[in-house]
Structure 1
Amino acid sequence: MPDGGGWHIVEDDLSGAPIRALLEQHFAGMLANSPAGSCHFLDFDGLRAGDVTFWSIHHGDDLSGCGALKMLDGRHGEVKSMRTHDAFLRQGVAALMLDHIIAEARGRGAERLSLETGSSSAFEPALALYRRYGFEDCEPFADYRPDPFSRFMTRSL
């Protein structure tokens, strides 16, 4: 899905070494900033589940980031595995991916989009992005439970 600026988003099968390395970095970052029992990222098998669609974003040939949409039911989606490659931080990668996920969720008939992320200061850039996109704090959803290391957010579509 080229956008004219050299960026393109593709559905990704997680088989390439660069995307696997980026996700390993994502997993390590989550575990470095929250206790293991409070980390709710999807592992490789989880990202391949039938209710999850995973995308990577590229600038030219360079992997720039990733994100996923998990459909919780026919009307409610969840943002998963948002990560920007370090070489592309503060270049709008996360916003492009979030725009894509929102459009995909709408296209699938979702009326609500929610997410879970960390609550420490390390997650503040992500929280600021989600707030700019109209996400608001909410109670735990789906199978989540209250957790001081988690922040739950939602918005209608």
Structure 2
Amino acid sequence: MTVSVAIESPFQDEVKALVTALDAHLLPLAPEEFHFGLDLEEMATADMTVFVARTEAGEAVGLGALKDVGTDKGLRTGEVKRMFTLPAARGRRIGALVLDAICARARALGIERLVLETGVGEGLAAAVRLYENHGFTECGAVLDYPDSGYSRFFEKKLSA
């Protein structure tokens, strides 16, 4: 399956379906107060870039977003948000393609550091492997997230 990744609007039925599927996947993994996903309106703000992975037939199979959070710890920082691949499409490096696009966009915007929050447990083990394989290292709580037993935090310094 050939997949391409492009910047798209979150206000599309296929993107809404991906976000709904992601939320359903995450729901049983942590109490509601430890879910930090964005809704479609939040994904459409000026500080966000939404990436959609599509098959050559045009089917949306993956999603990710970059939020420009400004300066944090003295570095221009971006946050990786809403990473998801449809279960039927997993194992085809779609998440890697989306994350590559996010990193490239971050560099183009002059972002020096990427951070992310993800959950814990087997349900997110593949996501953690993806981040680690892309040079993210585990760190303490980032931005304004609470430090809890339901989250893991990662960061990656970007070069120009």
Aligned partners of 2:42, 2:107: CA distance in 1, in Å? Answer: 22
Aligned partners of 1:103, 1:126: CA distance in 2, in Å? Answer: 19
Corresponding residue of 1:37: 33
Aligned partners of 2:36, 2:98: CA distance in 1, in Å? Answer: 20
Corresponding residue of 2:132: 131
Aligned partners of 2:135, 2:17: CA distance in 1, in Å? Answer: 31
Q: How does 1:1-157 map to 2 (within 5 A)?
A: 6-60=2-56, 61-73=58-70, 75-157=76-158
Aligned partners of 1:112, 1:81: CA distance in 2, in Å? Answer: 18
Aligned partners of 1:121, 1:103: CA distance in 2, in Å? Answer: 29
Q: Give deviations 1:104-144, integer Å, cap 9, x for gaps.
A: 10111011011000012211010011111111111111111
**Cα shift at 1:23:** 0.7
Q: Give deviations 1:64-122, integer Å, cap 9, x for gaps.
A: 20100001115100100010012211001000000000011011101101100001221
- Which ranges of structure 1 fall in alignment gaps of 5 or more residues? none
Amino acid at match of 1:145: P
* Deviation beyond 3 Å, 4+ runs, structure 1: none
What is the aligned-residue RMSD (CA, Å)?
1.3
Aligned partners of 2:143, 2:5: CA distance in 1, in Å? Answer: 28
Aligned partners of 1:38, 1:6: CA distance in 2, in Å? Answer: 35
- TM-score under structure 2 length normalisation: 0.91
Aligned partners of 1:43, 1:17: CA distance in 2, in Å? Answer: 13
Aligned partners of 1:111, 1:92: CA distance in 2, in Å? Answer: 25
Identity of aligned residues (%): 33
Q: Is the 8 A contact 2:11 2:40 kept in 1?
A: no
